[in-house]
Amino acid sequence: LTLPHGQDGRGTEYSFYKVINHTGTKSLFSAIISPSEECSTPLSLNLDDLEEFVLKPAPQGSTIQCRITRDRKGMDKGIFPFYYLHLEMENGKKRFIMSGRKRKKSKTSNYLISLDPIDLSRDGDNYIGKVRSNVLGTKFTVFDNGMNPDKKPFVPETAQLRQELVAICYETNVLGFRGPRKMTVIIPGVDADNERICIRPKNEHETLLTRYQNRNMQNLIKLQNKMPAWNEETQSYVLNFRGRVTQASVKNFQIISEDDPNYIMLQFGRVAPDVFTMDYRFPLCAVQAFAICLSSFDGKIACE
């Protein structure tokens, strides 16, 4: 439930929404809306090779600002909407980067990611990766467009096995899914040249999720969502999105490192009913960031 916007004595605007906690009592949550302090997407980005750009970690010292638009119009788009990612440039223009859509005939939640706004086929030339969930819809793995090792012996010797780019785990907390979610994100680390270390599991024992569960974190980075802070003045939980988020939603989140909680690696939030901002920083790449956001839309965990 969204309540009218209010302002405190310092002119900071708050956006509130109510949730029901496990005791059945009502609590207020809010997103701080203050002037943006982040620099926008630099014009110097090289977008000539789009596939290379979306898989390459963001330049250090820059925040790549993007916008996700959800298209729910049409016969089946209400259930299987399209998601379009655009880059927000310094000159005010927007550049299409990727699209995503949930597969219709899949036993688990499965999102295809494409460099084309229309062709989202698994066999298409623009297929760049996918997001796959477990049966419960609480754990997600993100792959690039390499070959699945399970297809052996039909995988050619020259074929490159797929990389695992991200693993995302959603957990309930004391408020359940209708409160702030708890997200744990596992990504490959980077080498001395700031390039992502390739993780190409040949079996289930080598996957990101299994390594994390076995506490084998070599060459891996653990991230988590920043939990909202309680604001006594407004009697609500708040997150500061620095002007990039204007509507309250339980989908809104910020991803941080355990080592540096002030370094926001990814933030995502609503600005209109079907429009969301997505800002990411090093060492994340565009595919990783977009895939994490797609997982947050999934029906089993997404509560408006």
CA dist., res. 84 & res. 72, Å (int): 12
- Dihedral sign computed on CA atoms, order 258, 213, 171, 63: positive
Neighbours of 35 (CB within 10 A): 8
Q: Which domain holds residue 171?
A: 46-297
**Domain contains 16:** no
Q: Residue 133 domain-assigned?
A: yes
Task: For residue 174, give the CATH number of its domain.
Answer: 3.20.90.10
With respect to residue 63, please indicate whether it lies within any of the assigned structural domains: yes
Tell me, yes or no, whether 4 lies in a domain: no
User: Is 282 buried (19+), middle (13-18) or exposed (0-12) by CB count in 10 A?
Assistant: middle
Rounded CA-CA distance 117/280 in Å is: 21
What pLDDT is recorded for position 219?
94
pLDDT at 165: 97
Residue 17 counted as domain residue = no
User: Per the domain annotation, does 303 fall within a domain?
Assistant: no
Where helices occur in the chain by DSSP H, the ranges are 50-55, 208-213, 286-296
Burial class (CB in 10 A: 0-12, 13-18, 19+), 177: middle
Residue 222 lies in a domain: yes
Question: Each residue's pLDDT tens digit in the chain (304 positions)?
Answer: 232 333 343 333 333 333 322 223 233 334 443 334 445 565 567 788 889 999 999 998 899 999 999 998 876 766 788 999 999 987 778 999 999 998 887 778 889 999 999 888 888 889 999 999 998 888 999 999 888 887 766 666 667 889 999 999 988 654 544 555 789 999 999 999 999 999 999 889 999 999 999 999 999 999 999 988 777 887 667 788 888 888 877 788 999 998 888 899 999 999 999 999 999 999 999 999 999 999 988 865 543 3
Number of domains in the chain: 1
Instruction: Tell the burial category of 120 from Cβ atoms under 10 Å away from its Cβ (0-12, 13-18, 19+).
Output: buried
- pTM of the model as a whole: 0.82
